[in-house]
Amino acid sequence: MPDEFTVTPWEVKGKVDYDKLIIQFGTQKITEELKHKIKNLTGGELHVMLRRNIFFSHRDLDLVIEDYEKGKGFFLYTGRAPSLGMHIGHLIPFIFTKWLQDKFKVNVYIEVTDDEKFLRNQEYTLDQTRSWAYDNILDIIAVGFDPDRTFIFQDTEYIRNMYPIAIKIAKKLTFSEIRATFGLEMSSNIGIIFYPALQIAPTMFEKKRCLIPAGIDQDPYWRLQRDIAESLGYYKAAQIHSKFLPPLTGPEGKMSSSNPETAIYLSDDPKTVEKKIMKYAFSGGQPTIELHRKYGGNPEIDVAFQWLYYFFEEDDNKIKKIEEDYRSGKMLTGELKQILIEKLNDFLEEHRRKREEAKELVHVFKYDGKLASEMWQKVHE
Amino acid sequence: MPDEFTVTPWEVKGKVDYDKLIIQFGTQKITEELKHKIKNLTGGELHVMLRRNIFFSHRDLDLVIEDYEKGKGFFLYTGRAPSLGMHIGHLIPFIFTKWLQDKFKVNVYIEVTDDEKFLRNQEYTLDQTRSWAYDNILDIIAVGFDPDRTFIFQDTEYIRNMYPIAIKIAKKLTFSEIRATFGLEMSSNIGIIFYPALQIAPTMFEKKRCLIPAGIDQDPYWRLQRDIAESLGYYKAAQIHSKFLPPLTGPEGKMSSSNPETAIYLSDDPKTVEKKIMKYAFSGGQPTIELHRKYGGNPEIDVAFQWLYYFFEEDDNKIKKIEEDYRSGKMLTGELKQILIEKLNDFLEEHRRKREEAKELVHVFKYDGKLASEMWQKVHE
């Protein structure tokens, strides 16, 4: 009996089988050989999310690496649909993108889709989504991007420079195609129908290959992009896809802003973090200490372990030790959770410190920085 | 047996019955009483196109006049989908709009839809539609608008300031509605599906009533606008609708840029004008001079007469005399055509002189003039 799961840009349900997803979506597994190649180019270092296959799938990453080796270069693009408060799962593509920028010294474009969020939700006002955009941009800047090589832009502002290329893209996409790809209806509004053109536009900001680190749920946008890019004189966008950090409440689906108990927010204070992890984090341990000592825990389904593995314990020896101790029953669920709570709170404290500093940098990333000011001079055709 | 005719924004076919159209579209006839009221406000003068019912139908024109009388004011909005060369029919809304501006001293917004033209026609490039936009703007400026009170803008440039209000509009319009209203298909591209939001946006440039002089074929856009305007805190747009200047080739349909023999272009030289009128202008005269002298001509179907009546012979006494002489057989078709040729060539010569001068004014109307520079400072919400 196969596990049932769904992965679309608007819904992730069930326990995702990532190997199946590679076949379903027609992407490629990131091979050990490709990782080895990247490792050689990044001074022998491989990001923990690559080492542990959190970024597990790709399209044309090999060609991006080839272009880099040949001196042709490439650029990075990722984005965010603004929400009232980001949770830690939202940081995964940004943290990884920042690492790639550090290692390859390339430009990063970050699209903040205040229009999409407004258009997709009947109840949100544009004032709301724009204030969330400001707020989320602080969290994004806090990740540590290079202010000379990073441009963060909101659709409702940068549309001015993107509209020409966006309508060239739009002219090549029919309602039928968009409808099938994004689950739209005859009753969908005409703004959200046009929106995919704006998500695709930044892949054509430079005449180089574009590499997009993003959750694999965003893949349908890039399939459309790849169908039309070359006819417009641009490269098919390359992607590197991440898995979903499992929600606190269990290994299925993805963290959701609408269910606060499934996620840790970047604004959660230490007490809240402790309470949420202790109360909600789905455990792979046994019902009693005695049974746990005897049979051990199951790290594969234990969310505290998964979060340490995906994100918070970068040291390979330490994570191996934790896994062994938990599996053997030597480490109790409570102890495991304590490790995560401590790591999480250290991370969040540091994040919030950088977030405060980010307030002075918003103008640099959006308007005045080296790349940003160049971009405001350009019209994309 | 009723005459068959079709009037939509993308097609005008058959001999249009304008009284029926008023019923079909649910608009109102411009009454003698309303004309009288306007005449009193404009110093006793009524534009020839109002006197002769070329502008024949309206929505809320009475409310616009009331607002004006109360000192609330109003503004004018019209537009143009750029084409390779404008013909004289294209000038009708502009000439009339200019007259209203002169009389009421109000702002005029003119949208040049370089995006729409590009998106609607598979074969056109954006470079083409933008160069036609520049070209058409010269013809529009030549009509003589007030540079302090007129803003001419192209969608691909002014989108920056219009996008926020456009997505608020877009969010209220579903694909189903747009499809029915504009004859779109599942295979229509997502750019042209979004476009109506941009045609509606300028009706919300001021918190006053907007009056739109335009061909009645554009009415479906304004019906949509009227459905949603108040929910966004704006007025329902008022319209004043014109008939179609009949094509040279006969009283049916509307002049078409794709059939050059149906129209006189603003660039047609005197010889070309003469040749076209003599060769193509559909005549209401009799087959021979003898029969014409005996039975007389029919001005109702004679295109040369209609053009004089709609546009080129403003003197009511003179047009009456021409009509009588033609109907009685005293005036021959060739003589009637000569009158039109002379009037047309005088008009075109003067137009082209003003068009040359317009080259120095493009920046004023688009960017630097009083209203234009104010508009570039605004973001429409």
pLDDT in tens, A132-181: 999 999 999 999 999 999 999 999 999 999 999 999 999 999 999 999 88
A43: left (phi over 0), alpha (psi -120 to 50) or beta: left
State both tokens at A52.
């542990």
**Distance, CA of A109 to chain centre:** 14
SS3 category, B121: coil
Which residue in chain B has the smallest CA separation from A173? B189
- Cα separation, B248 vs B272, whole angstroms: 13
> Do residue B172 and residue A189 have CB atoms under 8 angstroms apart?
yes
End-to-end alpha-carbon separation of chain B, Å? 50
Please give the mean pLDDT across all residues of chain A: 94
Q: Which of B119, B170, B186 sits opposite A176 (nearest CB)?
A: B186
> A163: which chain B residues are within 8 Å (Cβ-Cβ)?
115, 155-156, 159-160, 163
User: Which pLDDT does position A3 carry in this prediction?
Assistant: 55
- CATH topology for B260-356 is Tyrosyl-Transfer RNA Synthetase (1.10.240)
Burial (0-12, 13-18, 19+ Cβ within 10 Å), A9: middle
Of B137, B19, B22, nearest to B81 by C-alpha is B137
pLDDT exceeds cutoff 80 at A9: no
Instruction: Indicate the pLDDT class of residue A35, thresholds 50, 70 and 90.
Output: very high
**DSSP one-letter string for B33-66:** HHHHHHHHHTTT---HHHHTTSEEEEESHHHHHH
> Do residue A191 and residue B174 have CB atoms under 8 angstroms apart?
no
| Helix (H) or strand (E) segment spanning residue A14 | strand A11-14
Question: Which residue shows structure tokens 């290959």?
Answer: A209
> A167: which chain B residues are within 8 Å (Cβ-Cβ)?
115, 118-119, 126, 156, 191
User: pLDDT tens digits, residue range A98-114?
Assistant: 999 999 999 999 999 99
- Cα separation, A78 vs A101, whole angstroms: 12
- A198 in contact with chain B, both atoms CB, cutoff 8 A: no
- Bridge partners (DSSP) of residue B298 are none
Residue type for position A177: E
Cβ partners under 8 Å of residue B72, min gap 6: B208, B209
State both tokens at A327.
């599996």
State both tokens at A216.
């694999």
Q: Which of A159, A173, A187 sits opposite B160 (nearest CB)?
A: A159
- B193 in contact with chain A, both atoms CB, cutoff 8 A: yes
Q: How near does any CA of chain A get to the CA of B125, in Å?
A: 9
Q: Which of B157, B190, B192 sits opposite A196 (nearest CB)?
A: B190
CATH 1.10.240.10 boundaries in chain B: 260-356
Per cent of chain A over pLDDT 70 is: 99
Dihedral, CA atoms, A132, B235, B157, A167, nearest 10 degrees?
70
- Cα separation, B268 vs B279, whole angstroms: 15
**DSSP one-letter string for B203-245:** GGSSSSEEEEEEEGGGHHHHHHHHHHTGGGT-PPPEEEEEPPP
Describe the crossing of helices A175-182 and A219-228 by its angle, rounded to 10 degrees: 150
pLDDT tens digit at each of 381 positions of chain B: 445 788 777 777 888 889 998 998 899 999 999 999 999 999 888 999 999 999 999 999 999 999 999 999 999 999 999 999 999 999 999 999 999 999 999 999 999 999 999 999 999 999 999 999 999 999 999 999 999 999 999 999 999 999 999 999 999 999 999 998 888 999 999 999 999 999 999 999 999 999 999 888 888 889 999 999 999 999 999 999 999 888 998 878 777 767 778 899 999 999 999 999 999 999 999 999 999 999 999 999 999 999 999 989 999 999 999 999 999 999 999 999 999 999 999 999 999 999 999 999 999 999 999 999 999 999 999
User: Which pLDDT does position B1 carry in this prediction?
Assistant: 42
> A194: which chain B residues are within 8 Å (Cβ-Cβ)?
170, 190-191, 193-194
Q: Which of B115, B170, B176 sits opposite A119 (nearest CB)?
A: B170
B138: left (phi over 0), alpha (psi -120 to 50) or beta: alpha
- Cα separation, B148 vs B170, whole angstroms: 31
Dihedral, CA atoms, A160, B175, B25, B70, nearest 10 degrees?
-40
Range A24-53 average pLDDT: 94
**Distance, CA of B108 to chain centre:** 14
User: Which pLDDT does position B3 carry in this prediction?
Assistant: 55
State both tokens at A225.
């992009």
The CATH code of domain B5-248 reads 3.40.50.620
Which residue in chain A has the smallest CA separation from B158? A160
Tell me the HSE value of B43 on the side-chain side, using a 13 A CA sphere: 5
Q: Which of B119, B161, B171 sits opposite A171 (nearest CB)?
A: B119
- Bridge partners (DSSP) of residue B78 are B110
> B170: which chain A residues are within 8 Å (Cβ-Cβ)?
119, 189-192, 194
Cβ partners under 8 Å of residue A302, min gap 6: A282, A283, A284, A285, A326, A333, A336
- A381 in contact with chain B, both atoms CB, cutoff 8 A: yes
Q: How near does any CA of chain B get to the CA of A95, in Å?
A: 31
CATH 3.40.50.620 boundaries in chain B: 5-248
Cβ partners under 8 Å of residue B377, min gap 6: none
- What radius of gyration, in Å, describes the C-alpha atoms of chain B? 21
- Bridge partners (DSSP) of residue B8 are B11
State both tokens at A237.
């966008």
State residue A181 phi and psi, 5-degree precision.
-75, -35
Quickly list H helices, chain B.
Answer: 18-25, 32-41, 48-51, 61-69, 92-104, 114-120, 126-142, 155-170, 175-182, 190-194, 196-200, 219-228, 270-280, 289-295, 303-307, 316-328, 333-358, 362-363, 370-377
CB A61 within 8 A of CB A69: no
> Do residue B163 and residue A194 have CB atoms under 8 angstroms apart?
no
Of A152, A143, A151, nearest to A80 by C-alpha is A152
User: Which pLDDT does position A1 carry in this prediction?
Assistant: 42
- B178 in contact with chain A, both atoms CB, cutoff 8 A: yes
Question: Which residue shows structure tokens 């499934």?
Answer: A262
Of A163, A174, A227, nearest to A201 by C-alpha is A163
